[in-house]
Amino acid sequence: MKNLLLINNAEISAAETAAETAEAAEAAEATVVADSATMTPEQTLEHITNPETIKESVDKLLNYDLTTLLNVVVEGAVSVALKIVAALAIYYVGRWIIRRMMRFLDRVYVRRDVDMSLRSFLSGIVKVILYIIVVLIIIQVLGINTTSIVAMLASAGLAVGMALSGTLQNFAGGVMILFLKPYRVGDYIDAQGEEGTVSKIGLFSTEIRTVDNRVIYIPNSTISTSVIDNYSMGEMRRVDWTVSAEYGTDATKLREVLMTLLRADSRIVEEPAPVVYVTELTEGSVKFSARGWVRNADYWDVKFDMNERIYNELGKQGIKFANPQLDVTIKNN
């Protein structure tokens, strides 16, 4: 019994000694760390290259608990693997969703008859935005802070928007024109004081070719907010001719001559029927207006042909056009 007590006392003393040694080692290590914080670079280099310091570091590495190290490595590897798997899953699911959304947009484009150039442009923008969202989600899952990335993208977008404000207005106008279709390529329109056939609709401007073969570019931001006369929206278009006759002209005879000419041209439709009116009595002339309806494609041909016919026929019938006159009265004192 006495021997057992002696053994127990020895074990307790050994344990206490080991504990005191560990505490002393920790205190010494803390002292070394505290001292290293106040060391100069030269002292730090000397401390690191000291053989005793190297020997202590090797002893600590050899005595390190390998089980703890292995657990830390395994936990880290599992965490990284799970994040990578989650990121891959998000990428493939996101790509599948994006493809479905693009197919849906294609069906919308077909139903709305969206212009092909606008289709590809809008689809590209939507796809880029969706992939950026997917990438940001993946970065967030991987544990990377996305706040700075989003702030940088927002700042860049704001700077670009301010620098290209006029261009973006033209682009927005082009998108509205291509979506709402107030006119199409080939339509004859009157906009911004310019009249001609639309030869091209771009994202930033509209190209119009006039009857005298001039090419005019109108910014979309301007034309999209202005009044547009589209003569091609209907199948028929009215042609007007104005004849100024001198006073004393037989109005009935002049009306009959004009009506005969209108009915003789097969390109002028019978319904609505052509008409001739006395539209204005001015100081020096009587104005007659002849009106007939033609197909859009025949408008200019009929107008120019009839101008010549009216001039020739009125001359044959002895009907005189009004000439501007200036009466001068001379008073003798």
3-class SS string, 233-246: CCCEEEEEEEEEEC
Give yes or no for residue 3 having a pLDDT over 70: no
Beta-sheet pairing, 188-191 with 215-219: unpaired
For residues 208 and 216, is the Cβ–Cβ distance under 8 A? yes
Provide the token pair at 247: 């006073």
Tens of pLDDT along 200-254? 888 788 889 988 889 999 888 888 888 888 888 878 889 999 999 888 888 899 9
Domains of the chain by start residue, with CATH: 71-163 (1.10.287.1260), 182-230 (2.30.30.60), 236-316 (3.30.70.100)
Tokens, residue 155: 């700042």
Nearest to 169 by CA among 222, 115, 228, 114: 222
pLDDT-derived band at 80, boundaries 50, 70, 90? confident
Residues in a beta bridge with 330: none
Considering the chain, what is the average pLDDT of its residues? 78
Strand positions, DSSP E, the chain: 188-191, 194-201, 205-209, 215-219, 228-230, 236-245, 275-281, 286-295
**How far, in Å, CA of 134 to CA of 327, rounded?**
84
Q: 164 or 280, which is more confident?
A: 280
With a pLDDT cut of 70, the percent of the chain lying above it is 76
Which amino acid, 57? S
**Tokens 């670079």 belong to which residue?**
41
11 confidence band (pLDDT: 50, 70, 90): very low
Banded pLDDT at 168 (limits 50, 70, 90): confident
Closest Cα to residue 112, out of 196, 163, 155, 176?
176
Contact between 91 and 138 under an 8 Å Cβ cutoff? The reply is yes
Least confident range from 16-30, 36-50, 150-164, 221-235: namely 16-30
> What is the per-residue pLDDT for 19?
46
Q: d(Cα 71, Cα 301) in Å, to the nearest integer?
A: 92
- Provide the whole-model pTM: 0.48
How is residue 294 written in tokens?
Answer: 């033609």
